[in-house]
Amino acid sequence: MTTAQVELDSVRREFPDGTGLHATSISIAKGEFVSILGPSGCGKSTMLRCIAGLETPDAGTITFAGREVFGPKTNTPVNKRNLSMVFQDLALWPHMTVAKNVEFPLTTGAAKVDAKERERRVAEVMEMVNIASKADQRPNELSGGQQQRVAIARALVSQPDLLLMDEPLSALDAALRTQIRSELTRLAYDLDLTVIYVTHDQAEALAMSDRVAVMNEGEVRQFAAPVELYDHPADSFVAGFVGVTNTHDTLPDNRPENVQVTVLDDGKRPESLPENSVIGEVVERQYTGGRYEIRCLVDGAPEPWLAYTRAPIGRGDTVLLTVTTP
């Protein structure tokens, strides 16, 4: 049986206002990229801080590769857990060059190595993240994406067993986020690195992760592969938070990609509706490249339905919406 890289057993960290992390058990394998996904205040950052050693749990145990780092009689300091962290606030030293920022973890504590080894490792990780040409520049001379790469290089230079990331890409624009997350997942795979990644962005979590833990109100509601989360959500919260779910008084819950859209000529409604079909009035339309995303008012639905179509439908059009088998 393979030993988990990170294991939480009934870990709890609760605050006086009732927020925080309720008793949680979760197991993460070596080399796995896991995202912790949920709304603000759901406990995801608290979980990450407990794993890092920045927050002391009220109860439970945390083990790394079978070694207990927190328990009734154990609380290993953060600098002895052989992990690295990247946060939204990148915390780069403004007076240091890029190379010196990357090198810093190797100059102190348990990760300290000699000058020759520091030089080798710094050059290696800067090459990995494509910032070698910026070695002599300072952070304020770099773009946001370049600063992010410096923070990632600094996290990797100490060769950690575990990389923890808390909303690291949220300050970047959409195109740059997509590029950096692609580079990050490639690095994690190439280095066989275990990554725990906190985000509130469902698209980011689904795109990057081997598994995703969806949290709400201090609890993990489901921990599964992205496809499993999307196709078989454990409850209504997960269904609503991971993707969009159309609901109706009499029809089955459905995803937008499982709704067939038929434009009704002159808005004429059929005398009888096909099975699992409803009439919708288009109230919103957006072209997203290759398709339109439309929202429709539907009798018996608490919220407008979302559906996709390649047909050039306009606002105010009447359409037939048929739920197909996923």
Q: Say if residue 83 is in the same domain as residue 54.
A: yes
Q: Say if residue 224 is in the same domain as residue 266.
A: no
Average pLDDT, the chain: 91
| Percentage with pLDDT > 90 across the chain | 72
Q: Say if residue 229 is in the same domain as residue 266.
A: no
Model confidence pLDDT, tens digit, residues 85-98: 998 777 889 999 99
Q: Say if residue 112 is in the same domain as residue 146.
A: yes
CATH of the domain at 28: 3.40.50.300
Model confidence pLDDT, tens digit, residues 191-247: 999 999 999 999 899 999 999 999 999 999 999 999 999 989 999 899 889 988 999
- Long-range contacts of the stretch 38-43 (C-beta < 8 A, 24+): 38/200, 38/214, 38/215, 38/216, 38/241, 39/200, 39/216, 39/241, 40/200, 42/215, 42/216, 42/217, 42/218, 43/19, 43/215, 43/217, 43/218, 43/219
The pLDDT value given to residue 144: 85
CATH of the domain at 300: 2.40.50.140
Do the domain assignments include residue 248?
A: no
Do the domain assignments include residue 247?
A: no
Q: Say if residue 58 is in the same domain as residue 18.
A: yes
Apex 199 CA angle, 195 and 204, nearest 5: 85
Q: Say if residue 181 is in the same domain as residue 38.
A: yes
The model's pTM: 0.87
Which of 241, 270, 301 represents a domain boundary (last residue)? 241
Do the domain assignments include residue 29?
A: yes
The pLDDT value given to residue 280: 95
For residue 90, what are the domain limits? 6-241
Do the domain assignments include residue 305?
A: yes
Do the domain assignments include residue 1?
A: no
- Token reading at 22: 């309720």
Mean pLDDT of 55-71: 96
The pLDDT value given to residue 326: 65
Where is mean pLDDT largest: 34-43, 80-89, 240-249?
A: 34-43
Model confidence pLDDT, tens digit, residues 273-303: 999 999 999 999 999 889 999 999 999 999 9
The pLDDT value given to residue 181: 87
Q: Say if residue 294 is in the same domain as residue 159.
A: no
φ and ψ at residue 260, rounded to 5 degrees: -85, 130
Which of 214, 241, 268 represents a domain boundary (last residue)? 241
Residue 173 pLDDT class (50, 70, 90 cuts)? confident
Q: Say if residue 177 is in the same domain as residue 207.
A: yes
- Taking the C-alpha atoms of residue 52 and residue 90, their distance in angstroms, rounded to an integer, is 16
Model confidence pLDDT, tens digit, residues 102-145: 999 898 877 788 889 999 999 999 999 889 999 999 999 998 88
Mean pLDDT of 52-70: 96
Q: Say if residue 264 is in the same domain as residue 228.
A: no
Q: Say if residue 39 is in the same domain as residue 93.
A: yes
Beta strands in the chain (DSSP E): 6-14, 20-28, 33-37, 59-64, 67-71, 74-75, 83-87, 162-166, 194-199, 211-216, 219-224, 259-263, 277-287, 292-298, 305-309, 318-323
Q: Say if residue 178 is in the same domain as residue 281.
A: no
Do the domain assignments include residue 298?
A: yes
* pLDDT above 50: residue 311: yes
Do the domain assignments include residue 281?
A: yes
The pLDDT value given to residue 303: 93
Helix, strand or coil, per DSSP, at residue 132:
helix
Which of 199, 216, 241 represents a domain boundary (last residue)? 241
Model confidence pLDDT, tens digit, residues 260-277: 999 988 778 888 899 999
Q: How many helices (H) and strands (E) does the chain have?
A: 8, 16
Do the domain assignments include residue 85?
A: yes
Q: Say if residue 160 is in the same domain as residue 45.
A: yes
* Number of domains the chain is built from: 2
The pLDDT value given to residue 1: 42
Written as one letter, the residue type at 291 is R
